[in-house]
Structure 1
């Protein structure tokens, strides 16, 4: 099997393990290794922390660090601690090149305004969101000069020792309302990226589909109106194609169990699978499948401290219309293998 076949093989064929050939170009090995590092960053970070805790002389430092994390540090609420050298690291170029991930601009975004990017779909993990907004691997700073991106994630991620420091260094911040307002109030050019569908939408992330959880998601719209920030829909073609998921149709026992887990813990765990480090069709790493993120046209809003329900619905209607415009304009190029059309399911 040649190296190119790693992208093109039939992901639905799991009758036997397809191992990676011994001879693979160096750049592809680096790409695979970078993705492996990111997918294992959490357990590696927790492992490092546990090792530190195993040395009694370090306990005062560990206690001090945990006190700082849980009681003092406000960085997750203020835009993180972004490090340009890390966001522009060659590792992220390998990471984006693995799929590959690319970013398309369909309109200029003036740097004298503030923006709320709505990212769709969530996918199982949201690898395109990380590559495009959590790093500069796909050229966000070049395409949108003067705009500072902050990808947002659950506040609970910033309670995880060591791992939180990586997120903060990438400029990733908490998705809480207070955090969003703090970032947008930093002035012109500030922006946040919210993966709107969240945990609920991850359960609908099946290859060939584009099922969005959006109808009842109006918090980000209210945020934009209150702060006067323009809304910018982003649709990522291919985000749902990098993993397979066990069948979990609505009403099934598995779906109900996942929803119950979400209600208790605030997130859910899709039962997914992909490829491995040394094989193409068995493991928890994503498949090599192109992810193309199209940034839509900005939707300007009139600033109001207390938007009415009618205000929210009017802006949401315009937002959905722009999202559908992106789908219709690009689906024949980037979603040729789709099994259904864009659907807003909830």
Structure 2
């Protein structure tokens, strides 16, 4: 294994009592910092990369669950669509960068160019080699414009990943998450680790540093991610020049008695409805699984649609040949 990742202590842990004491405080701190970044018009981009089953999805879920949803967006990044392939690879990310005062969370990111596209040989070597400079320039431009960029790599060992895959496959609710492709990528763990090492070396900068998170222990992972992000946002706010807030004049309001007496849709809402905690948790889990399945089907449909569009451009003979090969 490459030197940097090999030196990590993946046995780092935080006991439950320490976690229960620290985590709620960090979570509330992040919500406060989100509000302050919104007021100061400081955009924040949070990038999550790392191994499959390292906990990216869970970490992102914990991160955004207490943030103001009006000011945060999560972008799950998959393979580029055909339309996106026709443009420079960073084009599709420009449309997702956060506006001033907003937070954007990337579940995977532009680093796929130097990771999966490199390891799986989806692009030419000269393309992923040139991507390091393109990414550095991209991040420098965003940083110069005032954006806070925080990049996380969630790291687990090859043995731990295999263990987690097997555990997930045993779950009634989550077994769909582990695919044949995941097991194929697991076999390439060493190749991905070498690609990650070069990625850290070439793209770790003062304005967009990498934070490698020892992700074996869930509690340690969450505390380190939350604290790192809070530190970065607080540092950016401290460096931000104070701008006087313009005074707002309240809009005049005219009272109309007839409108006050009209029954609205809100008057018909039954606010006495409730769910018992056990019933709530059962229904929540059921709908979460359903949403995941539907999301997976939507992505599959998008891939099929792109394939059909590509096949439509081929001569009849080539199209028939590819269909027969695919069905076989």
Q: TM-score, normalised by structure 1?
A: 0.30
Q: Which protein has the larger Cα radius of gyration, Structure 1 or Structure 2? A: 2
Higher RCO (C-alpha 8 Å, min separation 6)? 2
Q: TM-score, normalised by structure 2?
A: 0.31
Q: Quick check: which one's helix share is greater?
A: 2
